[in-house]
A = this chain, B = another copy of it.
C-alpha cells in the first residue's frame, strides 16, 4: 500500500464516519424512534403521527425532515396531506441487529446498559 492509498483510506474512513454520525444521530432521539415505530404499522401523515404521539405538529415536522434527509423515510403528497412511509429495507435489518444485540447483552428485557446503572 503506497502513501496515496493510505490517504484514500483515511479519507474514506472520515467520510464513513461522517455518514455514520449522521446516520446514528438521526436515530438517537425518542421522538424520531417513536415516529419510526408508528410508521412500521402503516404510512401516516404529519398530523396523524403528531396526534398519535401527543406532540406538536411542527415538532413532528422538524423531526420528519431529519428522518427524510437520512432516507429512513420517504414522503408522498396525497391531496392536502403529505404521507410519510418507512424505508423498510434499512430500518428492519437495522432493528434486527439491535434486537439481537439486546437479547445477548441486556437479558432483563429492553433495559440495556445495566452495567452503567449498577456503577453509580
A residues with CB within 8 A of B: 12-30, 33-34, 37, 65-66, 68-71, 90, 93-95, 97-102, 104-106, 109-113, 115-116
With A27-B28, A97-B97 as known contacts, state yes or no: A70 contacts B15, CB within 8 Å: no
Which residues from B are CB-within-8-Å of A21? 28-30, 33
Which residues from B are CB-within-8-Å of A13? 37
Task: Summarize A's interface: helix, strand, loop or mixed.
Answer: helix
CB nearest to A40 among chain B residues? B13
- The answer to whether B28 and A25 have CB atoms under 8 Å apart is yes
- The answer to whether A20 and B98 have CB atoms under 8 Å apart is yes
- The answer to whether A19 and B90 have CB atoms under 8 Å apart is no
9 contacting pairs across A/B (C-beta < 8 A): A15-B110, A16-B98, A16-B99, A16-B110, A18-B110, A18-B112, A19-B102, A24-B28, A65-B116
